[in-house]
Structure 1
Amino acid sequence: MATVYEDSLPQHHEATQNEKLVIAASSLGTVFEWYDFYLYGLLATYISQQFFSGVNETTGFIFALAAFAAGFAVRPFGALVFGRIGDLVGRKNTFLVTMGIMGLSTFAVGLLPSYASIGIAAPIILLIMRLLQGLALGGEYGGAATYVAEHAPNNKRGLYTSWIQTTATLGLFAALLVVIGIRLAMGEESFASWGWRLPFLISIVLLAVSMWIRLQLNESPVFKKMKEEGKTSKAPLTEAFGQWSNLRWVLIALFGAVAGQAVVWYCGQFYALFFLEKTLKVDGATANILIAIALALATPFFVIFGWLSDKIGRKPIILGGCFLAAIAYFPLYGALTGAANPALAHAQAAAPITVSVNQEECSFQFDPVGRNKFDSTSCDIAKAWLAKAGVDYHNAEGAVGAAAQVRVGDTLLTAPDPKALSGEALTTAIAGFQGEMKAALADAGYPAKADDAQMNKVAVVAILWALAMLVTMVYGPIAAMLVELFPSRIRYTSMSLPYHIGNGWFGGFLPTTAFAMVAATGNIYYGLWYPVVIAALTVVVGLLFLPETFRRKIED
């Protein structure tokens, strides 16, 4: 572990204006990589239509989110591969390679034929591109954060690395602006048909610019000194994870900081966007604009909290953000419903929906093979339609063998029973039931989509800003803390793995997991339990085991 420094000791170098410009160039390159990576998340609805059209709509969207999460699933493996290379041959050349892989994979998505053109090969190739993106990003972040921290003065690491922390949000913000601009310029119909490809294709220009920027960089002074002295690690993976003295800090970093940071990040930005579009039925362009405004207002606080962590420490800010998220998510998302779609909030309160059925007859409303039409029981028929409609409902235990009954306010409807009907009669009955459900929801005031005129956009932006502020608290100081936890000879490898397990697995799977939880229970807020529990766990583990690191030297 790194040693503690005293104010009287000299800093490892004096940061010059040129070095600050080099750090800025590193950050700009990282913005591009995040732009590439998050385009997919922003366009998940269109990708679902283009590449997963062979399955039902609800399953298709969850599959699209799962493919989005697949890029996160392999990030820890990218961390191992590129982290090892970064500790062996240097920081600069490693993240040049990761950028090239990321950019070319993103460009290829824009050229990929749809499911209608080449069938099952389309989603398979799409998945391969996502896996390559994930591998590249797994090697990118650790290199950029380590590179910047090793250029920074001892008393400004939080401030300097916080600029790297802004890159994820700035990359998302850039992707939002590109998507919004193209959608508004060409219209929704053309964008849904082929215009969604343009943001991917544009990335080839950004790749060329970013590669040129990265080529101007010098190697990290800490790595150069370590290499000159012959102190680089010859087996960074073995040193980082094969020795308990270092492995325990990897585990503490993961469960005591990064896991909570990850779920707060994705719940505060991506899940909020998906929730607005899929659950609250806000127009996609409007949702993107509202998120973009909130991010623009919150982004400076990455740097503010990074700077503050140099004064009071990393631990209280990161754990404080996790604690606030754990207690605030349910009220914030409830308020978001009322502000973004007040008619929906009123209908939920005035005419709640209840499904009465023997729960043993109900399937889990997510089909892993994409072929289940959920029509084998009356429960499945009722819940499949409600899941597709995205409305909130409660479950009540019904009599064994009885058909499912759906109560919408004072209206009671009985779902068709496949045990009593079959063939064309069942098909006709299901269509009739769905029509009755649609009419009952309309009569009860459930809107087909959010009314832009009724939406309190100022309140929506304020709530989204509050969610984003929690993100800045947990994310602003995290890079500096991870760099300070590990010795320089194995720093790239050691910090990359917990970061990408946390953000790749705990965070990256959040949208998929949360929406599957909602589909299974009918409660539109049930998916929030996932980030709430993980954030609370991080607070407990962090308080017990995570050390404060902001006064450590990092040259050792």
Structure 2
Amino acid sequence: MATTYDEAPDPKATFQSDKKVIIASSLGTVFEWYDFYLYGLLATYISAQFFSGVNETTGFILALGAFAAGFAVRPFGALVFGRIGDLVGRKNTFLVTMGIMGLSTFAVGLLPSYASIGVAAPLMLVFLRLLQGLALGGEYGGAATYVAEHAPANRRGLYTSFIQTTATLGLFAALLVVIGLRFALGEEAFAAWGWRLPFIISIVLLGVSLWIRLQLSESPAFQRMKDEGKTSKAPLTEAFARWGNLKIVLIALFGAAMGQAVVWYTGQFYALFFLEKMLKVDGATTNVLMAVALALGTPFFVIFGWLSDKIGRKPIILTGCAVAALTYFPLFGMLTQAANPALAAAQAASPITVVSHDDECSVQFDPVGRNKFDAKSCDIAKSFLAKNGVNYANVEAPAGTIAQIKIGGQTFVAPDPSKVAGEERKAAITAYQAELKTAIAAAGYAPKYDPAGMNTPLVIGILFFMVLLVTAVYGPIAALLVELFPTNIRYTSMSLPYHIANGWFGGFLPTTAFAMVAATGDIYYGLWYPVVLAAITLALGLVFLPETFKRDIEA
């Protein structure tokens, strides 16, 4: 039987006996996260290869949408593999999810491009992302449960925190591979074909991961329960069709995991995309900056996991959500000042506004890439700004007003589509865009950042602080979720809220936030998404989330 919290064995002896479990579980999971997050790091290149039939902004949003597709199916993977894990065991489920993940990642590196086979290319890409998402949906819950069921009662936060490092370490490993190949091959070769190599070499990681996982035996808690004939016969029914457990699932989702998810993806993905797409920092520099911040922040997963064994899981997770909700807007404003001070100065000295009647404007988001945004003067004005990632504010005008763009003290009236048509309209729009491009550049809105102007230490400091918030909400979450549910349905019960939160609320964050930016013209508007969800989790968690750190998980 597991020891109680106060009767825990000697920590040195326990750690030695369970060290193999922690290392093997963690390393295998690192490789799975490496596979999964390669896509996010290479979204710009994938956009060019597989979504080249649309304009640049739409292509990037579609690439992020395909990235999010892998997250969309994670809850279904949690149901399928969570059920198998509670019926058959933790270890064998690991091996299946790892095989699916590794082979589908390898296949991405071999896919023909849009130029070669047309629309079949992005469809095949999305299919492989769905396979990755299903595999990951079954991976995390198993790894966290497996380690927690080996851990002494007063070390569950510490032991499972090593699993929590794996997502960041996987991202860090992917960053290092991408950075190394970009520098070794050069940007031109990497963009043409080198981006495929990180996917292809993952087949080696698959072999290593499978070998590591084959060294493990079944979880003692599950094996004991199986020997006693106490395993669940219907994990899905017991987990989700009975209110007593379903209520805890909902509390875990909205009172903990949802806020954790949006903080995680804002701090480690949205910040990276924001630097590259909004602040015009080149991709290689962005990757290096994020890699440094991750290297500095990763030890805090373990620190916060250890601390949660002392003071509890709940206060650490909810404090992280609170700080994130309060600081994201000023943090991203500071990031703009530090990374691209010329852009920040231009926004302050020569703010751009669009004067138009709102009902006559289309949302500047084109998921199928077929809208030319030239039927209305407002569309002509806004589409140019959206395509170039320029921040602007909206000023409401009376109905029928021809849209105007104001840059500092200058006003540029858009062509009126009702008065020009055909080639004349096309020529008028081209001339208008050229005029705007010149004015925007003159106002200081440079198409790229100036490396000499970047305050690199401050950028790294800001990114590190956001990663620190990630470690606070994520470090203790595995132990919390494990402790909320009984052993016989633990894998199923904890996996679903975790993957709904991280697959849907977190995984769709970059796509949703950038669509919000495209729709409003405000480069900071997308931050409302994580701020609001983190605040909701804080409120619900304070009221409904129980403290779990002294629970006996085998009771």
1:6 Cα shift? 5.0
Q: Give a deviation string over 1:407-464, Cα, whole Å, max 9, x none.
A: 0101111111211111111111111111111100111111111100110000000000
Q: Give a deviation string over 1:45-79, Cα, whole Å, max 9, x none.
A: 11011101111111111000000000000000000
Letter in 2 for 1:418: P
In the alignment, structure 1 segments of 5+ residues that lack a partner are none
Of the structure 1 ranges 401-410 and 275-284, higher mean CA displacement relative to structure 2 is found in: 401-410
Matches within 5 A, 1:390-469: 390-469=389-468
Q: Give a deviation string over 1:453-505, Cα, whole Å, max 9, x none.
A: 11000000000000000000000000000000000000000000000000000
Aligned position for 2:548: 549
Letter in 2 for 1:298: G
Given that 2:300 and 2:471 are in contact with CA atoms closer than 8 Å, whether structure 1 keeps it comes out as yes
Could you tell me the percent identity over the aligned residues? Answer: 75
Three-state SS of the structure 2 residue aligned to 1:269 is: helix
- Aligned partners of 1:9, 1:497: CA distance in 2, in Å? 30
Call closer, same or farther: CA 1:216–1:4 in 2, change over 3 Å.
closer
Aligned position for 2:79: 80
1:39 Cα shift? 0.3
Aligned position for 1:162: 161
Q: Give a deviation string over 1:292-336, Cα, whole Å, max 9, x none.
A: 000000000000000000000000000000000000000000000
Aligned position for 1:121: 120
RMSD: 1.4
- Aligned partners of 2:417, 2:50: CA distance in 1, in Å? 31
Aligned position for 2:505: 506
Given that 2:5 and 2:552 are in contact with CA atoms closer than 8 Å, whether structure 1 keeps it comes out as no
Aligned position for 1:538: 537
How many correspondences in the alignment?
Answer: 554
Of the structure 1 ranges 19-28 and 235-244, higher mean CA displacement relative to structure 2 is found in: 19-28
Given that 1:376 and 1:418 are in contact with CA atoms closer than 8 Å, whether structure 2 keeps it comes out as yes
- Aligned partners of 2:481, 2:524: CA distance in 1, in Å? 32
Matches within 5 A, 1:82-101: 82-101=81-100
Matches within 5 A, 1:63-462: 63-462=62-461
- Aligned partners of 1:290, 1:12: CA distance in 2, in Å? 37
- Aligned partners of 2:269, 2:362: CA distance in 1, in Å? 28
Three-state SS of the structure 1 residue aligned to 2:6 is: coil
Given that 1:393 and 1:523 are in contact with CA atoms closer than 8 Å, whether structure 2 keeps it comes out as yes
1:19 Cα shift? 2.2
Given that 1:4 and 1:552 are in contact with CA atoms closer than 8 Å, whether structure 2 keeps it comes out as no
Given that 1:514 and 1:530 are in contact with CA atoms closer than 8 Å, whether structure 2 keeps it comes out as yes
Q: Give a deviation string over 1:215-241, Cα, whole Å, max 9, x none.
A: 111111101111111110010000000
Q: Give a deviation string over 1:4-47, Cα, whole Å, max 9, x none.
A: 95515779997352421222111000000000000000000110
Given that 2:108 and 2:125 are in contact with CA atoms closer than 8 Å, whether structure 1 keeps it comes out as yes
Given that 1:14 and 1:153 are in contact with CA atoms closer than 8 Å, whether structure 2 keeps it comes out as no
Three-state SS of the structure 1 residue aligned to 2:266 is: helix
Letter in 2 for 1:318: I
Three-state SS of the structure 1 residue aligned to 2:452 is: coil
Aligned position for 1:55: 54
- Aligned partners of 1:26, 1:323: CA distance in 2, in Å? 31
Call closer, same or farther: CA 1:12–1:186 in 2, change over 3 Å.
closer
Given that 2:137 and 2:495 are in contact with CA atoms closer than 8 Å, whether structure 1 keeps it comes out as yes
Q: Give a deviation string over 1:376-416, Cα, whole Å, max 9, x none.
A: 11111111110111111000012321211000101111111
- Aligned partners of 1:342, 1:194: CA distance in 2, in Å? 34
Call closer, same or farther: CA 1:292–1:12 in 2, change over 3 Å.
closer
Of the structure 1 ranges 56-65 and 139-148, higher mean CA displacement relative to structure 2 is found in: 56-65
Given that 2:85 and 2:93 are in contact with CA atoms closer than 8 Å, whether structure 1 keeps it comes out as yes
Letter in 1 for 2:505: F
Letter in 1 for 2:526: G
Letter in 1 for 2:271: A
- TM-score, normalization: structure 1? 0.98
- Aligned partners of 1:213, 1:191: CA distance in 2, in Å? 31
Call closer, same or farther: CA 1:371–1:4 in 2, change over 3 Å.
farther
- Aligned partners of 1:180, 1:109: CA distance in 2, in Å? 19
Three-state SS of the structure 2 residue aligned to 1:555 is: coil
- TM-score, normalization: structure 2? 0.98
Of the structure 1 ranges 8-17 and 168-177, higher mean CA displacement relative to structure 2 is found in: 8-17
After TM superposition, which residue ranges in structure 1, 4 or more long, deviate above 6 angstroms?
A: 9-14
Call closer, same or farther: CA 1:4–1:512 in 2, change over 3 Å.
farther
Three-state SS of the structure 1 residue aligned to 2:127 is: helix
Letter in 2 for 1:407: K
1:248 Cα shift? 0.1
Of the structure 1 ranges 269-278 and 378-387, higher mean CA displacement relative to structure 2 is found in: 378-387
Q: Give a deviation string over 1:494-546, Cα, whole Å, max 9, x none.
A: 00000000000000000000000000000000000000000000000000000
- Aligned partners of 1:551, 1:6: CA distance in 2, in Å? 6
Given that 1:11 and 1:153 are in contact with CA atoms closer than 8 Å, whether structure 2 keeps it comes out as no
1:36 and 2:31 equivalent? Answer: no
Given that 1:138 and 1:496 are in contact with CA atoms closer than 8 Å, whether structure 2 keeps it comes out as yes
In the alignment, structure 2 segments of 5+ residues that lack a partner are none
